[in-house]
Structure 1
Amino acid sequence: MKINPAPLHLAQSIIIGLCAAMSIAIIGTAAHTLDVFNKQQSSNPWWLPLWPQHFDTHGTKALIGSAASTFVLSAIYLVFALIPSFNLVNRHTLRALLALGTTLPAALVALVTIIYAHILNNDTPEIDTIQTWTCKYKNSRPLQQDLGLPSNLGNGNFNSLCMQSRFALYGTLVVFLMLGACIGLSVVTWLADKWAARQTRKELEANGQVQS
């Protein structure tokens, strides 16, 4: 049976490319929520500036770090896999090791980050994260006498911040699942490469015997 591993190579590159793209989106949304918190936490009464120790932003920072590491590792793989001068198409074991060496660490970091962020989100009401706080008060309304306050002194953007913080967390989960799929695909692709190379070698040997 003849196997063509080219579609597997393409699928592998597409999945890793999607991981890189999703990581950029996660960095953007998580960094934006953290930036808003840092800028408004000392002035916006909706952030309880008199009680700063109530908030834990380590989960958001971990999501940013996880996404950044995934992007860097994915970019490394794509550079080596897509640039012809590295000739990974004909170096099957090296290609598989490169895929596993970039996706496996990224998957582990993403998994630890998801668990860590989930634990922090479940520590409420003792401690709130940006996600739990903004999602809790996204639909609340200020008192009548406070309606004239500037937008940066209200919770008008809490709904957007809630969705962005949720996207960063669940986006990391999606990245983890794609990385897990890519790990399995890397093994399948390596086996397909080996099988195709073996079949090609047998065909060449057979042709050689016929010609002789």
Structure 2
Amino acid sequence: MKINPAPLHLAQSIIIGLCTALSVAVLGCAAHTLDVFNKQQTSNPWWLPLWPQHFTTAGTKALIGSAVSVLILSTVFLVFALVPKLNLANRPTLRALLAIGTTLPSALVTLVTIIYAHILNHDSPELDTIQTWTCKYKNSRPMDQDISMPSNMGNGSFGSLCHQSKFALYGTLTVFLLLVGSFGITTLTWLADKWAARSNRKEVEMTGQ
């Protein structure tokens, strides 16, 4: 029975491509929420400027670092896998090792980041993250005398920041699941490549006889 590994190669590249695209989105959302916090925390009364120690941004920074790591490693795989001159399609073991060498560290980083971010989020209300704080007060209304305050001194953006923070976290979880799936596809692709190569050798031997 002949097996065509090309669809598996395509599936593998698509999954890694999705990881890359999603990591860009996670990076953008997490970086934006952190930027807003850094710019407004010392002046916006909704960010408790007199109580900065109530907040931790470690989880958001971890999400940014995780997204950057996945983005770099996934790009490395895609470059090597999709550039025809490198000819990885005909070097299944090298392709598999490259896939494992890029997806396994990415999966470990995203898993640790997800656990760490969840732990920090569950420290609320003793210690708040950008996500827990913005989601908690996104629907709160300022006092009547504060309604005329500038937009950067209110909680008008909290709804958007809440959604972006959640997207960054659950987007990272999705990346992790995709990376786990990619690891399984890598194994199947390597086995299919080996089977196809073995079948081709047998055909050549039978033709030669």
Q: TM-score under structure 1 normalisation? A: 0.98
Q: Which residue number corresponds to residue 161 of structure 2?
A: 161
Q: Which residue number corresponds to residue 135 of structure 1?
A: 135
Matched position secondary structure for 2:196: helix
- Output the CA distance in 1 between the equivalents of 2:184 and 2:172: 19
RMSD across aligned positions (CA): 0.4
Q: Which residue number corresponds to residue 149 of structure 2?
A: 149
Q: Which residue number corresponds to residue 4 of structure 2?
A: 4
- Output the CA distance in 2 between the equivalents of 1:105 and 1:145: 52
Per the TM alignment, residue 95 of structure 1 is displaced from its structure 2 partner at its CA by 0.3
- Output the CA distance in 1 between the equivalents of 2:155 and 2:190: 52
Per the TM alignment, residue 131 of structure 1 is displaced from its structure 2 partner at its CA by 0.1
Runs of 4+ deviating beyond 4 Å: none
Gap regions ≥5 residues in structure 2: none
Kindly provide the CA deviation profile for residues 23-71 of structure 1, in whole angstroms up to 9, marking residues without a partner as x: 0000100000000000000000000000000000000000000000000
Q: Which residue number corresponds to residue 54 of structure 1?
A: 54
Per the TM alignment, residue 156 of structure 1 is displaced from its structure 2 partner at its CA by 0.3
Matched position secondary structure for 1:42: coil
Per the TM alignment, residue 107 of structure 1 is displaced from its structure 2 partner at its CA by 0.3
Identity of aligned residues (%): 75
Q: Which residue number corresponds to residue 191 of structure 2?
A: 191
Per the TM alignment, residue 167 of structure 1 is displaced from its structure 2 partner at its CA by 0.2
Kindly provide the CA deviation profile for residues 111-142 of structure 1, in whole angstroms up to 9, marking residues without a partner as x: 00000000000001110000000000000000
Matched position secondary structure for 2:107: helix
Q: Which residue number corresponds to residue 110 of structure 1?
A: 110
- Output the CA distance in 2 between the equivalents of 1:145 and 1:85: 67
- Output the CA distance in 2 between the equivalents of 1:204 and 1:169: 52
What amino acid does structure 2 have at the position aligned with 1:118? Answer: H
Q: TM-score under structure 2 normalisation? A: 1.00
Q: Which residue number corresponds to residue 76 of structure 1?
A: 76
- Output the CA distance in 1 between the equivalents of 2:16 and 2:92: 18
Q: How many residues align?
A: 209
Kindly provide the CA deviation profile for residues 74-113 of structure 1, in whole angstroms up to 9, marking residues without a partner as x: 0000000000111101111000000000000000000000
Per the TM alignment, residue 9 of structure 1 is displaced from its structure 2 partner at its CA by 0.1
- Output the CA distance in 1 between the equivalents of 2:98 and 2:110: 18
1:30 aligns with 2:30: yes
Q: Which residue number corresponds to residue 204 of structure 2?
A: 204
- Output the CA distance in 1 between the equivalents of 2:142 and 2:125: 21
- Output the CA distance in 2 between the equivalents of 1:15 and 1:113: 20
Per the TM alignment, residue 201 of structure 1 is displaced from its structure 2 partner at its CA by 0.5
- Output the CA distance in 1 between the equivalents of 2:19 and 2:138: 30
